[in-house]
Amino acid sequence: MADDAVSAFAELDHERSVRRGYPEAVYCEGKTPEQVAGIAAAIGSRADPDGATLFTRAAPPHAKAVLGVLPDARYDADARLLAWPPRPPEPTGGLVAVVAAGTSDLAVAREAALTAAYLGRPYELVVDVGVAGLHRILGRLDLLRRARVVVVVAGMDGALPTVVAGLVPAPVVAVPTSVGYGAAFEGLAALLAMLNACAPGVAVVNIDNGYGAGHLAAQIAAPAAA
């Protein structure tokens, strides 16, 4: 399916990688499976894709639609992410460390980690090291201090990015999640806590925005221009 077949509902930006160095991603939430399938077909019709196309926030019906058109695409159900072509590029640049405060934050953390990987960065995923057991993050300092950038994903009180930023030399990308009891207000409490971080060097993305965090981290950790 060529681009003109999807022109009624989408206009693909094939030149984004030329302008920005990274290809366009397809946000699936709010789109019908049929629309996502049409976009996938248009992307697949291009002979030499410039890097992987990511389909984010892909529910199972979206994944089924994409895989029906691009059967070799990779689908990570936890991260709700599809990638085509399925193999990440050979990693270059600095290490992206992705830290999930709790297991409940893991889906967003995986989205961030896989985004960084498909944008060409090496990554390490650290899971369940929230501030309720501070010894757990302290036990991973050797890894975190090797990273060029650290993505910290946390809900509830949102305190972990500030703690990490006080322990490592790298910039921290903070990701609030919609995890927590009622007063967490679906991630708003964590978002405000991260915006009010007293440690310098913390950048905050929107609630549950693992893709945005992984993309920013990949840019920070990119190889220096020759």
Percent above pLDDT 70 for the chain: 91
What letters, b where the CB count within 10 A reaches 16 and e where it falls short, cover 17-44? Answer: eeeeebbbbbebeebebebbbbbbbbbb
Q: 91 lies in a domain?
A: no
Residue 79, SS3? coil
pTM: 0.92
**Strand locations in 6-164, DSSP E?**
26-27, 53-56, 74-76, 81-84, 96-100, 123-127, 149-154
- Same-domain status, 16 and 103: no
- Same-domain status, 101 and 75: no
Query: Contact, 176 vs 194, CB < 8 A?
Result: yes
- Same-domain status, 214 and 112: yes
Domains in the chain, number = 2
Residues present in the chain in total: 226
Lowest mean pLDDT among 6-10, 16-20, 128-132, 206-210: 6-10
Percent above pLDDT 90 for the chain: 83
Percent helix, percent strand, percent coil in the chain, to nearest 5: 40, 15, 45
Residue 114 β-bridge partners: none
Question: CA 104 to CA 204: how far, in whole Å?
Answer: 19
pLDDT tens column, 162-209: 999 999 999 999 999 999 999 999 999 999 999 999 999 999 999 999
Looking at residue 175, what DSSP letter applies?
A: E
Q: 225 lies in a domain?
A: no
Q: 177 lies in a domain?
A: yes
Q: Residue 129's pLDDT is what? A: 96
- Same-domain status, 113 and 210: yes
Q: 206 lies in a domain?
A: yes
Q: 226 lies in a domain?
A: no
